[in-house]
Amino acid sequence: MSRHQQRGQGKPAGSNSQRQLRVGELVRHALADILAQGSVHDPDLEGLIITVPEVRMSPDLKLATIYVMPLGGERIDGVVAALDRNKRFLRGEIAHRINLKFAPDIRFRVDERFDEAERIEKLLRTPAVQRDIAQSSDEE
């Protein structure tokens, strides 16, 4: 990239740099380890297995949006609230585990991919879609 070219020019909107993706994966692994070890002592998190499917980093790497989902989808709101209450502790633990100039601020969001996949699955099973699939296979 030339010195006169602006950063991010020529990249599709919403795409992440390699560095953002790499740091996001480091944060994801660190948080998954912390949660798996049971280091967070909160009654709302006890006995739950929490998956961390994705971490999205801001371009300046100072904000990490962490998507979480408790196994089975139980008590989602309580889990996010508990993680928010323990945000300071989690940020410190993440900072100790990964080597960055600044520890990113963290925010937690519910991962809605499973709900979206279920919605698409239901759409694919509707009679209208099944009829269209049968028609297209008859034409081939």
Q: Which domains does the chain have, with CATH numbers?
A: 18-111 (3.30.300.20)
47 contacts: CB under 8 Å, gap ≥ 6: none
Q: What is the pLDDT of residue 12?
A: 52
Radius of gyration of the chain (CA): 20
Q: What is the pLDDT of residue 77?
A: 86
Name the residue with tokens 């209450």: 85
Per-residue pLDDT of the chain (140 residues), as tens digits, is 444 444 444 455 557 899 999 999 999 999 999 999 888 888 888 888 888 999 999 999 999 999 998 887 778 888 899 999 999 999 999 999 998 888 899 999 988 877 777 778 888 888 887 887 777 776 66
* Structure-block tokens of residue 100: 């960055």
Global model pTM greater than 0.95: no
For residue 125, give Cα distances in angstroms to 25, 30, 33, 128.
35, 39, 38, 8
* Structure-block tokens of residue 37: 């070890």
